[in-house]
């Protein structure tokens, strides 16, 4: 039985991962500052599915599984001393790090949201690394990174898993072989923080011998997993709003709501996708296959398949009869891109990914239909704009992240 800490374990990917690892017998503790719940209040949105209070989630899991999950409220970006104290006592075998602000549109709303995203994500990751180094722990750190660090203006060259082998010629014609981090080209402040994370990992692996796996995940779709289906209080988040809703879940929800599918621009953006059940499966595979101490950071692409946004809209329209609407693109991104991604490592470890053509589109549609009365149509449009100087269109219901902090300090 491994002792595992899940940072950000109250969120969309972290919660089902915590349940999966607990179900297979690991000793799991969740650390979360519940900022994602606060951001719901800030934006005046809510998950389409009703999310139980943290204590009720824990009680429901104990009831259906007979297993204990621990949950601690802690801000990894702002409480480094508490984090150090906790890790010194717990000395976990594995830490899975999901605890970052993860919406690209939210990270582009205003200067305040940009600063919050950078401060939260970069400080949180660095606090964790500095703590592991100071305590000289053998812990394996598994981080959830993103395919989006590489940007999306590619021409179809297959993106390798983290590193690029290059040969450079100097002035005298001598050749040098190097293996370098694949160049990043982030398209939002959120994606930028994940690019910075990569350098932090590289430094601490090389300087302190930390064991780190960085999972470069594509866009996650779906809601439920084997464990979250077991009790109504275990249900996972379903974000559909213009900031946190990811494209396929948004299209599925929009179809059920009778809203036209909001394709940005030409819909020529090509992206990588993975179902939430496979997110959970891949994290478990990464935990079971750690790098050795002193090895470079193990970077694995966590993706199942690649699709163009307008093709996804077409597919959802065919299944549901929904209309497709091409709306002005609020983001600054290439109108069309090609994308090819290697997922050789997880394939070799036995991943047989769930694909869109499998039955789970129906399950996501059914979930959206069941909770449709909780949706607010005003929260469907994406209003955060990438162009500087533009103000987001959603009135704030409560103060933004900085103002909230100032109010409590
Ligand atoms: P989420 O917002 O639902 O969950 C993140 C959790 O972390 C929340 O519960 C939040 O309260 C917590 N958190 C944030 N900052 C924290 C801090 N400073 N201290 C403690 N807890 C903190 O996001 P998610 O969709 O579950 O994503 C999890 C991770 O996976 C993120 O790092 C994200 O970048 C990555 N990822 C997500 C997707 C996706 O499509 N959802 C795709 C690729 C990568
Ligand atoms: N899009 C639409 N219509 C919509 C919503 C989105 O056309 O209604 C388009 C966007 O313009 C974009 C694409 O769909 O071109 C993907 O948008 P998204 O919101 O689904 O995904 P993204 O902003 O990239 O972010 C999500 C997660 C993030 C994760 C990332 C993985 O929120 O945490 O890192 O997916 S990846 O895209 O591989 O970088």
Give the number of residues written for the chain: 409
Instruction: Please check the confidence at residue 319 and state whether its pLDDT lies above 50.
Output: yes
pLDDT of residue 377: 96
Report whether 158 contacts 342 (CB < 8 A). yes
d(CA 38, CA 175): 54
Whole-model pTM: value is 0.95
* pLDDT at residue 409, rounded to an integer: 41
Domain 3-386: state its class. alpha beta
Is 70 exceeded by the pLDDT of residue 396?
Answer: no
Say which residue, 390 or 357, is predicted with more confidence.
Answer: 357
Separation CA 88–CA 92 (nearest Å): 9
Confidence of residue 404 (pLDDT cuts 50, 70, 90): low
Q: Which two tokens stand for residue 160?
A: 């390798």
The pLDDT tens digits of the residues spanning 253-289 come to 999 999 999 999 999 999 999 999 999 999 999 999 9
45 Cα–ligand 1 center, Å: 17
Q: What is the pLDDT of residues 202-225, one digit of tens each?
A: 999 999 999 999 999 999 999 999
Task: Tell the residue number behind the tokens 């970006």, with chain if given.
Answer: 77
- Distances from the Cα of 241 to the Cαs of 205, 263, 406, in angstroms? 37, 14, 27
Q: Does residue 182 have an active-site annotation?
A: no
Distance in angstroms (rounded) separating the CA atoms of residues 281 and 46: 27
Nearest alpha carbon, ligand 2 atom 33: 102
The answer, yes or no, to whether residue 374 has pLDDT greater than 50, is yes
pLDDT value at position 160?
93
pLDDT tens, 70-105? 999 999 999 999 999 999 999 999 999 999 999 999
Average pLDDT for residues 297-321, to the nearest whole number? 96
Could you give the 3-state DSSP secondary structure of residue 300?
strand
pLDDT value, residue 401: 60
- Tell me which of 114, 194, 211, 298 is the catalytic residue: 194
pLDDT band at 16 (very low <50, low <70, confident <90, very high): very high
Backbone angles phi, psi at 132, to 5 degrees: -60, -40
Give the model's confidence band at 389: pLDDT under 50 very low, under 70 low, under 90 confident, else very high: low
- Among this protein's residues, is 163 annotated catalytic? no
| Residues 41, 366: Cα–Cα separation, whole Å | 26
State mean pLDDT over 349-370: 91
Q: Is the CB of 331 under 6 A from ligand 2?
A: yes
* Pocket (CB within 6 angstroms of ligand 1): 8, 10-14, 32-36, 75-77, 98-102, 120, 124, 144, 146, 217, 219-220, 237, 246
pLDDT of 14 reads 98
**pLDDT, mean over the chain:** 94
- Per-residue pLDDT of 231-241, as tens digits, reads 999 999 999 99
């Amino acid at each position: 039985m491994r002792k595992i800490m899940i940072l950000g374990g109250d969120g969309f990917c972290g919660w089902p991962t915590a349940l999966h690892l607990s179900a297979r017998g690991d000793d799991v503790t969740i650390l979360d500052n519940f900022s994602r719940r606060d951001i719901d209040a800030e934006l005046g949105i809510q998950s389409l599915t009703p999310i139980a209070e943290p204590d009720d989630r824990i009680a429901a899991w104990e009831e259906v599984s007979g297993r204990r999950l621990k949950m601690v409220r802690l801000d990894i970006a702002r409480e480094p001393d508490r984090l150090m104290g906790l890790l010194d006592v717990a000395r976990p075998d594995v830490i899975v790090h999901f605890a970052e602000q993860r919406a690209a549109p939210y990270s582009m709303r205003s200067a305040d949201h940009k600063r919050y995203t950078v401060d939260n994500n970069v400080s949180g990751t660095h606090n964790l690394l500095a703590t592991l180094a100071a305590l000289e722990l053998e812990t394996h750190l598994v981080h959830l990174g993103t395919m989006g660090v590489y940007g999306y203006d590619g021409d179809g060259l297959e993106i390798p898993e983290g590193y690029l082998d290059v040969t450079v010629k100097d002035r005298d014609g001598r050749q040098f072989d190097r293996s370098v981090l694949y160049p990043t080209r982030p398209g939002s402040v959120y994606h930028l923080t994940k690019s910075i994370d990569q350098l932090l990992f590289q430094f601490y692996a090389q300087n302190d011998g930390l064991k780190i796996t960085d999972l470069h995940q594509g866009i996650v779709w779906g809601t439920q997993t084997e464990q979250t289906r077991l009790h109504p209080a275990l249900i996972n988040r379903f974000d559909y709003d213009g900031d946190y809703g990811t494209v396929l879940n948004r299209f599925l929800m929009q179809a059920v709501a009778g809203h036209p599918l909001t394709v940005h621009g030409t819909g020529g953006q090509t992206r990588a996708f993975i179902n939430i059940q496979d997110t959970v499966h891949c994290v478990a595979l990464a935990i079971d296959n750690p790098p050795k101490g002193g090895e470079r950071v193990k970077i694995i692409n966590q993706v199942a398949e690649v699709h163009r946004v307008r093709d996804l809209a077409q597919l959802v329209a065919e299944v549901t009869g929904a209309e497709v609407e091409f709306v002005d693109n609020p983001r600054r991104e290439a109108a069309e891109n090609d994308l090819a991604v290697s997922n050789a490592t997880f394939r070799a470890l036995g991943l047989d990914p769930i694909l869109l053509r499998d039955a789970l589109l129906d399950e996501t549609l059914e979930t959206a239909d069941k909770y449709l009365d909780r949706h607010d149509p005003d929260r469907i449009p994406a209003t955060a704009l990438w162009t500087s100087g533009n103000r987001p269109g959603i009135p704030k219901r409560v103060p933004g992240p900085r103002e909230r902090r100032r109010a409590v300090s």
